[in-house]
Amino acid sequence: MSASYRATYQASIDDPEAFWLAAAAAIDWITQPTRALDDSAAPLYRWYPDAELNTCFNALDRHVRDGRADQPALIYDSAMTGTTRSYSYAELLNHVARFAGALAAQGVGRGDRVIVYLPMIPEAAIAMLACARLGAVHSVVFGGFSAKELAARIVDAEPVLVVTATGGLEPGRTVEYLPIVADALASAGVELPVIVKRRKEIPVEHDWLDWDELEADAEPADPVPVAATDPLYILYTSGTTGKPKGVVRDNGGHAVAMAWSMQYIYDVGPGQVMWAASDVGWVVGHSYIVYAPLLVGATTVVYEGKPVGTPDAGAFWRVIQDHRVRVLFTAPTAIRAIRKADPDAAALARYDISSLQTLFVAGERLDPATFEWARQVLDRPVVDHWWQTETGWAICANPRGLEPLPIKPGSPSVPVPGYRLQVLAGDGSPVPAGTEGAIVLGLPLPPGTLTGLWRAGDRYLASYLSAYPGNYLTGDDGYLDDDGYLYVLGRSDDVINVAGHRLSSGAMEAAIAGHPAVAECAVIGIPDELKGDRPSGYVVLKEGADVTEAQLREELIIRVRHDIGAVAAFRDVTVVAALPKTRSGKILRKTMRQIVAGQDYPVPSTIEDPAVLDALADRLRPDRPRPPE
């Protein structure tokens, strides 16, 4: 396929069946698809309903078969331990097949769920691929999440086994995982086999199963054929409420979309190196650390470290140099952190980054100042692209492998082929260019996007498909310009994006509300120079509560850290007299955000008591301009 963006996009919209059947040629099928789209259960769609494959076979075995056995598949680079280790395709396959054998010996089979709670070590990718090899469904939980968050995922996914490690390494501290896993299993009320990768840096004793012993004794397992429509993984993400949503990804559509995106969006092919500086616990890690690079025979980098402080702001440039990285994918926060630590990019002069073609960023808004800085110091295209856990791959991007389009600062460019993007007004009518509205995607979504929420079909319909029938609601507001470029303005719901990590205000509020002095509370995301947004808590105290604001703040920080995890980076607490609400009792978080950000705010017609809003505005912004009458 060699065509312009416009023609390719149009072809994907006019005849998705032909488009995605042609794209399926990138995958080795056990049973070839004769059809692409199954719309028999619309608005729930399935891709490649009559096909069979094994995702792990496509990511590993076929590359060994086709002459890539000795090529690096995965390079582990740990800035935390000073270790680098490269795994060829043959070596990675050997580990994965053996670990799959070990899982099978523990009774894991097709369709069974396995929780993977691992830091950024090669075993994370090995465990995921081993599940895929058996047709089992992995659910990876980010290592920065607390026991409570882990327990919620265990309860929902009903796994047969947990894979973990003795711990993770954060700058200046060790995070021991085993007490967290033990706590989570106890509060989920289940007893499960646990396989532990013992890290030599964290040599903790335990009575659970030892990864290395199991792998050494295991018979390599063969790939198990699965239906293209079978689930490959569940990845939990934050919604408005405290209960995470289990996004389900299939095998066939996912493999096709991953391969398509590598060629046409990232322009990375066999033998080339992609580095997604994220974490396997997030969707970026699933798609672009593990699956997509391996599906196309490229080399992926698993980086354990930070953009700054491990040891300095040259860390990213070193990794690019050492591993000849062609494409780096990271979050704008990481670039802001590097810029803050090294504004003139002096560290860059120490490294040869000539291999780098493009910097891709996603996960949060790329502010024009950060864009401009990165473009100048790197002297390469800086490509913003916009997507979410649910879609699994980019909704809007600058398709570098298809046709590099002009880059506009502040915009993730244009809809990717397959996505019928529209911006709608509240009444469901499309808004003209330049006008803000809800960003929606016409159904069906392309392959690789969620097939639904794990055992929560009704919630999927209610949360995503009911607001604008025939469309998927992204939860982001934005507008299109005259050239069809999208500008994303932010979430329309109460999801908070902290350093590119998606967190639920509801979950933080639940943690805060458990404090004995708290009558009610609201958590909103407020602008933060480094992290994009940071959570800020507003608390109404109970009558007669005997606690100082400073003491309360300390206790609430500990609570949020305990219930959600350090990654929430919750630090701000303000005691207020009352929270502004609608007559039906809904807290006016958007209005609160506008007040804190110093923006004009309309007084909602549904407000219960306008005086509460006024008092809050006086408390939070004594210098505020008066709201329009």
Give the number of residues in contact with ligand COA, rule: CB under 6 A. 26
Binding to ligand COA by residue 522, rule CB under 6 A? no
Which residue in the set 16, 49, 159, 168 belongs to the binding site for ligand COA (CB under 6 A)?
Answer: 168
Task: Work out how close the CB of 600 gets to ligand AMP at its nearest, in angstroms, rounded to a whole number.
Answer: 23
Helix (H) or strand (E) holding 175: strand 173-176
How close are the terminal C-alpha atoms of the chain, in Å? Answer: 57
Say how far apart CA 56 and CA 58 lie, in whole Å.
5
CB nearer ligand COA, residue 169 or residue 262: 169
* Nearest residue (CB) to ligand COA, 237 versus 411: 237
Residues across the chain: 629
CA 101 distance to own-chain centroid: 29
Q: Of the listed pieces 44-52, 244-252, 305-313, 397-405, which binds ligand COA according to CB under 6 A?
A: 305-313
The nearer residue to ligand AMP, 246 or 363, going by C-beta atoms, is 363
Q: Which is nearer to ligand COA, 49 or 525 (CB)?
A: 525
Closer of 197 and 491 to ligand AMP (Cβ): 491
Residue 566, contacted partner among ligand AMP, ligand COA, none, CB below 5-8 A by kind: ligand COA
Instruction: Report the nearest approach of ligand COA to the CB of residue 462 (Å).
Output: 27
SS3 at position 65: helix
Q: Is 334 in the site for ligand COA (CB under 6 A)?
A: yes
Which CB atom, from 156 or from 364, has the smaller least distance to ligand AMP? 364
Q: How far apart are CA 623 and CA 203, in angstroms?
A: 55
- Which has the closest alpha carbon to 57: 252, 286, 218? 252
**Applying CB under 6 A, does 115 fall inside the site for ligand COA?**
no
Which of 224, 289, 569, 596 touches ligand COA (CB under 6 A)?
Answer: 569
**Are the C-beta atoms of residues 616 and 576 closer than 8 Å to each other?**
yes
Residue 307 touches which of ligand COA, ligand AMP, none (CB < 5 to 8 A by kind)? ligand COA
- Residue 103: count of CB within 10 angstroms of its CB: 27
Residues 6+ apart with CB under 8 A from 568: 498, 503, 508, 535, 560, 561
DSSP code of residue 542:
P
Residue 184 pairs in a beta bridge with none
Which are the contacts of 42, defined by CB distance < 8 A and separation ≥ 6? 443, 444
Least distance in Å: CB of 188 to ligand COA? 20
Q: Return left, alpha or beta for 337; rule: phi > 0 is left, psi -120 to 50 is alpha, else beta.
A: alpha
**Rounded to an integer, what distance in angstroms lies between the CA atom of residue 364 and that of residue 335?**
12
- Helical packing angle, 122-134 and 89-105, nearest 10°: 60
C-beta closer to ligand AMP: residue 58 or 389: 389
Subset of residues 253 to 292 that bind ligand COA, contact rule: CB under 6 A: 277-279, 282, 284
Name the residues that contact ligand AMP, by CB under 6 A. Answer: 237, 283, 362-366, 384-389, 412, 474-476, 488, 491, 497, 502
By CB under 6 A, name the binding residues for ligand COA. 143-144, 168, 170, 175, 277-279, 282, 284, 306-308, 330-331, 333-334, 337, 363, 499-501, 530, 566-567, 569
